[in-house]
Amino acid sequence: MTDGPGAVSHGRSQSGLLGLFYGPPVPGVRSYLCPFPLGERLPAGRKNRILLVRILMTQAANLDRGSEAAGAGMEKENRQLDSIDPYPLIINKRRFHSRLFVGTGKFSSNQAMMEAVNHSATEMVTVALRRVDLNKSVDEEDMISLLDRDRLQLLPNTSGARDAEEAVRLAHLSREMGGGDWVKLEVTPDPVYLLPDPVETYKATERLVKDGFTVLPYMHADPVLALRLQDVGASTVMPLGSPIGSNQGIKTEESIRIIIEQARVPVVVDAGLGAPSHAARAMEMGADAVLVNTALAVARDPGFAGLAFARATLAGRMHFLFGSEGSSRSGSWNSASASSPLTGFLDEESRS
C-alpha cells in the first residue's frame, strides 16, 4: 500500500475479515461476527478504508438476509482456499471444500439444525440411525428431507451400537433404507462416558469395508489403532479430542499429532470440540477436518455458532498452510524471542 501518509505494506490479503488491518479506526463500524465496534485498525489511506468498510457492510447485509446468504459467502471463502490448497480433502473420490462436518443431534428443532447446517456451509452431515424410523425410507424422514442431498454428503452413524455386530446391522439397515454406503462407525458399549471400543471398532471396520461401505470410524486417539484401521480399509480415522458432548476441547493433542504424522488417510478430529478456538487448534495441528455437533446444538444461536466454527476451521487451515511452523506446536520453552533487534541502541556503548 502506498496511498495515504504512513501507509505500510505487510504482504497480507485484506479481503474479507481474515486480514490484519492497520491505520486509524473507523468509528461506529460494527461486524456481525463481533457485535461491538470493530477494534482492529484499518489501512491508512481513504480508498482502502472505504473498501474495507464496504466489505464489512456487505457481509453484514448478507447475514441479515439469512442463512442462505451467510452460507453462500462462507462457501465462497472455502472454495477460494481450496483452490490453492496443495492437499485437498478427498474421501472416497469425493472432494470436500468445507473441512467442517456437522452433526444433527440434540438441536431444539429442525429449524435450528438447518440454520447451523446452512450458516456453516458444511458439505457433510451425520445422522444417528437410532433416531430414524426404520419403517420409512431415509428421504421420508422429516429431518433428512430438509437436507439438500445433492450438495450434502449424508453420513449415517451407528451411535448406540454396543458391539461390532450391532454396528454392522445398523449400517446395512441404513443402506437398505436409502442412506447410502457411507457410515460413521461408532461402537460405544459404555453408556456413561461413550468411549469407543477399540477391538469392536476394528472388527466392524474390517467387515463393513468388505461389504462395500465407506467407513469413517470414531476412535480413541491411539496411533497404533489408527494404523490398524487404515490397514483394513478405513477411509478416514476420527480420533476424539475429548469425550462426546463434553465440550472440553482437545485433551489428546500429542497423540493426535502422531496420528496425523503417520496417516495415509484424512484425519478428522471428532468429539469434545466446544468452541471455535478448539476447531482452529485442530486445523493448526494439521488435521484434515473437524466434526462438531453439541457445541452448535446448545448454542444460543446455532446458525451464527455454525458460522463461527466455519470461520475458525478455515482460519486454522490457513495458518497450517501459511503460518509459522513453530506456532502450531505446543510444548515447553525456556527463553523468549524478540520480534525486534536487540542491538543498535543509541546508548549501547554505555550499557556495555
- Domains in the chain: ranges and CATH: 14-64 (no CATH), 68-323 (3.20.20.70)
* Euclidean distance between CA atoms 259 and 34, whole angstroms: 35
* Structure confidence at residue 150 (pLDDT): 81
Cα–Cα nearest to 162, from 189, 184, 186: 189
230, amino acid identity: Q
Q: Over the stretch 175-226, which tens digit does the pLDDT of each residue have? A: 888 888 999 999 999 888 889 999 999 999 999 999 999 999 999 999 999 9
What's the CA gap between 81 and 88, in Å, rounded?
10
Mean pLDDT of the chain: 79
Q: Per-residue confidence at 3, pLDDT binned at 50, 70, 90?
A: very low
Active-site choice (47, 93, 106, 184) = 184
Beta strand 30-31 with 34-37: parallel, antiparallel or unpaired?
A: antiparallel
251 catalytic? Reply is no
Residues 6+ apart with CB under 8 A from 274: 246, 247, 248, 249, 294, 295
Residues 267-292: tens digit of each pLDDT? 999 998 999 999 999 999 999 999 99
SS3 128: strand
The pTM score is 0.74
The single residue listed with the C-alpha cell 510444548 is 331
3-state secondary structure of 278: helix
Q: Which H or E element spans position 219?
A: strand 214-219
pLDDT digits (tens, 9 = 90+) for 132-178: 555 555 555 566 778 888 889 999 999 889 999 999 999 998 888 88
Q: Which helix (H) or strand (E) holds 320?
A: helix 302-322
Say how far residue 182 (Cα) sits from the centre of its chain: 19
d(CA 183, CA 120): 21
